[in-house]
Structure 1
Amino acid sequence: MMKGTDAEREPLLQSTAGQSSAAAVPPLATKELKKVGPLEISRRTRYGILAGIWTGTFLSSLNTTLVATLLPSISSEFDKSHQAHWLGTAYLLAICTFTPLYGRLCNVMGRRGANQTAVFFAALGTAACGLSGNMETLIAARFLGGLGGGGIATTATIITSDMYSLRSRGLTQGISSLFNSLGMGLGGPLGGYISDRFGWRWAFIIQLPLFFISFLLTSVNLRYVTPGKSKSTKEVLKRIDYGGSFTLLVAVFSVLIFLSSRFSEELPWSSPSVYVPLTLAGVFAVIFVVFELCIAPEPVLAPILLRQKIPVLVGISNFLVSMCNFTVMYNFPTWFQTVLLTSASEAGAHLIPNGISISCGSLFAGWVMHRTGKYKRLNLIFGLFPFAAAILISLMREDSPPAQLWLSIIPLGFGNAVVLQTMLIALLAHLPESSMAVGTGFGQLFRGIGQVGGVAISAALFQTMLNSELHKRIHGLNAEETIEKIRHSATLVAKLPPDLQRAARDSYAISLRAVFLMAATSTFLAYLARLPIPDKPLDASRPRGHSVNAAPPATAAVEAAPSAVTQGDASIKDTSDDDEDDGCPSIRTEGPRPRRLSTYESSEGGMDLESDVIGGSARSYGSIRS
């Protein structure tokens, strides 16, 4: 009979052939088991890892909104204000379509390799932005930066999931969201300040040392070994949804081309630049859906979740909330620069309250859910805040009191931060462990499309309204030329003669009011979509992985079934049974469920527990070829 630590080190699962554990473990595997797992690392190492990945998260979020206050300066230098929205949509489009790759790369390259690849592409794209000589190069550089930006957020989520349990992650994710929200909220103000003082190019170049710090911190600290590594690099790469990512990219990109050509460039419907991309968008959207439903072994759009109430409602809410967020953030500074004629730094400063409120909202939601284990009441109360804020913003006038100009955006940031946090937890609470990453990827897909749509659709509406309003107010000789100059250069408004300036300011004010009302409508529809989502106690947290040293010898490469592990009073099977009552039937498989730590993760998603039978796709075994 063994005593003390010797007994604790005995494998939980014995060889069925009666062989000793020592005989079952080759020397190399024994060496691997001695490496430190994510739950065994020291506090200092864990904080070093968090500092590295959260620095990258901050920069990724910063670049999401950085160009909001740089648009007038950049577009005026290149004289292409009508194309300025591409600086936002290019970055968001890359995030939306290429983020799924990084979940798989975490298995192929390891956590550190995948994270540092993302940091490298983000830094390279940022440097290229600062050195761009024309609008086309700058747009391409933004797309390159987005390739890394989405990966930074995804790998940070997976790494955090390795080190913390779901229950502990309630507060940890709130802190993580603080850096995400802080970057998103400070992007506009910092961009405007740096643009006024040093020029818009320095807003990109100044970030490069921080990217280096992030890379250095992960190089030194991110060295733990994760249990449950996938079969082989070839197997993992085969499971990536290349077809889905490509068709989604072409479909969304074609929609953006159509919106730009028809509403920004004002080309007629008969122009090939209008009807060709519109046709391609429809064709590739159909191909994307068919590919996801029938062909892809690991689809981004998991077919089974389309039949489940909670993931679909969360996806709709994510789409509409993201559309509201990015509609306001990309147009709010423009109102101050074109209607009040402020500088870029002062216009960006009006986004500071939003950044603070987003950070406070994320922390508040995480703290309350951590303390109470509930989320629905939070959602019902604070979910109406963004609607009220959007209405207040739409009512701004040149003679509005400072309190309205500075504080009206606060409920928007706070409310939407609470909504996104509660919807994440609601999604995780209503899904079985085996489909957690699939569900979060499903919700994040809608969120990413909403971000792109918020910038692109608001830009199309804004340009259409602006063109119409300018034609109502400006007449006479050279009217068309004057209107084109005003549309192409927002900074020109402050330099116009008094009569033309008055016409331009009024036109911008009316056009932006329509955009803010669109945001209000979007967030109200999101609120209605969330109402049917039920509350569910969060007291019983899902089981997490054990340390590497505790893994059974026979599963040094693939961890044993998590269904054998219980947490609280419920096992994985019990949790799945509960989910059926909530409109989310579980994904059932027979036999052990080996663990791979990632497929497609959202920027705030959960760690995947995936099996050879269902993979990350929630598709039946017969439709998967491995």
Structure 2
Amino acid sequence: MNDRPTPTPAPDRPALPRLGVFGLMLGIFLATLDGQIVSTALPTIVGDLGGLDHFSWSVTAYLLTMAAATPLWGKLGDLYGRKGAYINSVLLFLIGTVLCGLAQSMGQLIAFRAVQGLGAGGLMVGALAVIGVLVPPQERGRIQSMVGVMLPVSFVGGPLLGGFITDYMDWRWTFYVNVPIGVIALLAVAKGVRLPAHRVTGRVDYLGASLLTAGILALTLLASWAGTTYAWTSWQIAALAVAVVLSLAWFVRVEQRAAEPITPPRLFSSREFTLAQILSFLVGAILVSVINYLPQYMQFVQGASPTVSGMLILPLMLGMLTAQLTIGRLMDRGGLERVVPLTGGAVTVVGTVLLLLLGTDTPLPAASALTLVVGVGVGILMQSTLLTTMNNAAPRDMGAATGTVTLVRTIGGSLGVAVLGAVHSSRMADVLAGRLGSDAEERLTAGGELTPALLKDMSAGVRHTVEDAVSSGLHGVVVGAAVLSVITFATAWFIRATPAPDPATAEAAVTASAPETDSVRTPPAD
């Protein structure tokens, strides 16, 4: 006779059907694909609409509103229903997308890109929040592996699709192509995702949202203008720095007192959650900096076309893809919360150091292959930080938690590319001025005479000098990325190892972590 007690069954949790997963994945794909498609078409768009001096704002407006809206969408989902918040964000994104395709001037395009960014802020965080609530911790790695596929696929496919549309169709279709994808995502989520309707007592912290938006705006302007539009020591940059500090300091104070804060301070009571945000910030800075300057090296030094230069960093993307698929499944088993980020930090250090081998005489296949290792390291870190964030947040805070990790990574990328971009520009200018003179350097860098197409018609001496300058600038970026990688590896040492979860009780533990203040209305379905 078997006297072993029967395990207590875990509480019922709504299933996440394949149709719902498909819709959520399409939303994430939209969020990551749009920027890659448009980036390829922007030179043509600006040439058609005019306003070259406002070129950067067509990108900045989108990134700014997306970053500012991300935590707000997460909180709206936590308070009023995650499925509804997600669907509304997709609708707003599609409205902005259609308006961008109809734009008749650069002013209109910038304004409509801002609208599009407001919707985009809810695509990633909305999908992750729904997944975080419906999927138990021991199964999240498998689902997040699927999410992790979206980023490298969009980084590779986006530029290729954008180039094809620009070359063979009208540039406006770089926006319109999002519409059928978005409509399919809406229908799939509406039909395939069923959540219990819920409403938490409380109101959105609009003061906190305003302060966070102001802080991000000032930070974005500072990162975009410092060292380029204005000198680092100018009063404009100093004023922006003061605005950043005051806005964010006031935001922290407001969040500590708000009944339903945008970013609940209780999340940071978890040591692992806090460390995951630090790691996310660092890996965002590393990834965005490397991805932005490797194609430039491939075009100026290796002589690749814009489309081919995107293909040449395919090993980096494949490394990210492989790492994210593998790490998600490994972390399902538990007990690897410390080992995985340590491994990712170590691999990223090795990968960034290997990029120092890139030079003017590096064979093209070797230059492409050298990007693989840093891609693996970044993929490990991105997947582990996301899973750690979700596993250390209660169900009621899932939207705020995923919004926080996405926002922190975005800010890290913006600051990383701004600071290391200044290093890149400085090293390039030093080489050009030292060999060609300051007048020639000014003419090449500020006069619009330095493009991959124009470089081919220059004399051999000038061409070799430019190649050396671009290589020197890339080395400055890579050294900065290597330093950030070392800091990442050191930070990962502070993460504590945790025992593997018991699958029989994991769901019960997650459900029990939801506070009683969540007034859940079971019927009808959301």
TM-score (norm 2): 0.83
Q: Which of 478, 482, 500 is the matching residue for 1:520?
A: 482
Would you say 1:263 and 2:227 are equivalent positions?
yes
Matched length:
511
Change (3 A) 1:370 1:566: closer
Q: Deviations over 1:121-151 (max 9, x none)?
A: 2223334444555655544444333222221
Q: Which of 330, 352, 362 is the matching residue for 1:390?
A: 352
Would you say 1:168 and 2:139 are equivalent positions?
yes
AA at the equivalent of 1:283: L
Residue in 2 aligned with 1:537? 499
Report the alpha carbon displacement of residue 194 of structure 1 after superposing the two structures with TM.
4.5
Residue in 1 aligned with 2:115? 144
Residue in 1 aligned with 2:518? 594
Residue in 1 aligned with 2:524? none
Would you say 1:412 and 2:374 are equivalent positions?
yes
Distance 1:566 1:61 in 2: 33
Q: Which of 203, 207, 225 is the matching residue for 2:174?
A: 203
Change (3 A) 1:257 1:476: closer
AA at the equivalent of 1:60: A
Residue in 2 aligned with 1:618? none
Q: Is residue 74–residue 399 contact of structure 2 (8 Å, CA) maintained in 1?
A: no
Residue in 1 aligned with 2:199? 230
Residue in 2 aligned with 1:554? none
Q: Which of 81, 84, 87 is the matching residue for 1:116?
A: 87
1:177-576 mapped onto 2 (5 Å cutoff): 177-192=148-163, 194-195=165-166, 198=169, 201-222=172-193, 224-227=194-197, 229-230=198-199, 235-236=201-202, 238=203, 240-267=204-231, 269-270=233-234, 273-293=236-256, 295-306=257-268, 308-371=270-333, 373-429=335-391, 440-475=402-437, 480-486=442-448, 492-540=454-502, 572=512
The alignment's C-alpha RMSD in Å is 3.7
AA at the equivalent of 1:47: R
Distance 1:79 1:395 in 2: 40
Q: Which has the higher helix share?
A: 2
AA at the equivalent of 1:517: V
Residue in 2 aligned with 1:95? 66
Report the alpha carbon displacement of residue 533 of structure 1 after superposing the two structures with TM.
0.6
AA at the equivalent of 1:594: D
Residue in 1 aligned with 2:7? none
AA at the equivalent of 1:230: R
Q: Is residue 28–residue 124 contact of structure 2 (8 Å, CA) maintained in 1?
A: yes
Report the alpha carbon displacement of residue 353 of structure 1 after superposing the two structures with TM.
2.5
Q: Which has the larger radius of gyration?
A: 1
Residue in 1 aligned with 2:14? 39
Distance 1:304 1:218 in 2: 31
AA at the equivalent of 2:244: A
Q: Deviations over 1:7-64 (max 9, x none)?
A: xxxxx9xxxxxxxxxxxxxxxxxxxxxxxx97268xxxx2222211211111211234
Report the alpha carbon displacement of residue 525 of structure 1 after superposing the two structures with TM.
0.9
Q: Alignment identity in percent?
A: 24
Distance 1:61 1:116 in 2: 17
Q: Is residue 223–residue 415 contact of structure 2 (8 Å, CA) maintained in 1?
A: no
Change (3 A) 1:503 1:491: same
Q: Deviations over 1:280-308 (max 9, x none)?
A: 22332332233233x43333444345565
Q: Is residue 337–residue 491 contact of structure 1 (8 Å, CA) maintained in 2?
A: no
AA at the equivalent of 2:68: T
Distance 1:280 1:542 in 2: 50
Change (3 A) 1:199 1:363: same
Distance 1:508 1:374 in 2: 40
Q: Which runs of 5+ in 2 are unaligned?
A: 1-10, 522-526
Change (3 A) 1:273 1:542: farther
Residue in 2 aligned with 1:63? 34
Q: Deviations over 1:466-496 (max 9, x none)?
A: 4444333433877644441247866544454
Distance 1:108 1:148 in 2: 18
Distance 1:433 1:218 in 2: 20
Partner secondary structure for residue 384 of structure 1: helix
Q: Is residue 126–residue 205 contact of structure 1 (8 Å, CA) maintained in 2?
A: yes
AA at the equivalent of 2:302: L
Report the alpha carbon displacement of residue 510 of structure 1 after superposing the two structures with TM.
1.8
Partner secondary structure for residue 374 of structure 1: coil
Partner secondary structure for residue 538 of structure 1: coil
Q: Deviations over 1:166-217 (max 9, x none)?
A: 2222212222322344224533444445445557654333333222222232
Report the alpha carbon displacement of residue 541 of structure 1 after superposing the two structures with TM.
5.2
Report the alpha carbon displacement of residue 104 of structure 1 after superposing the two structures with TM.
3.8
Partner secondary structure for residue 342 of structure 1: coil
Partner secondary structure for residue 383 of structure 1: helix
Distance 2:147 2:445 in 1: 45
Partner secondary structure for residue 497 of structure 2: coil
Distance 2:308 2:319 in 1: 18
Distance 1:508 1:326 in 2: 18
AA at the equivalent of 1:94: T
Change (3 A) 1:55 1:332: same
Report the alpha carbon displacement of residue 341 of structure 1 after superposing the two structures with TM.
3.0
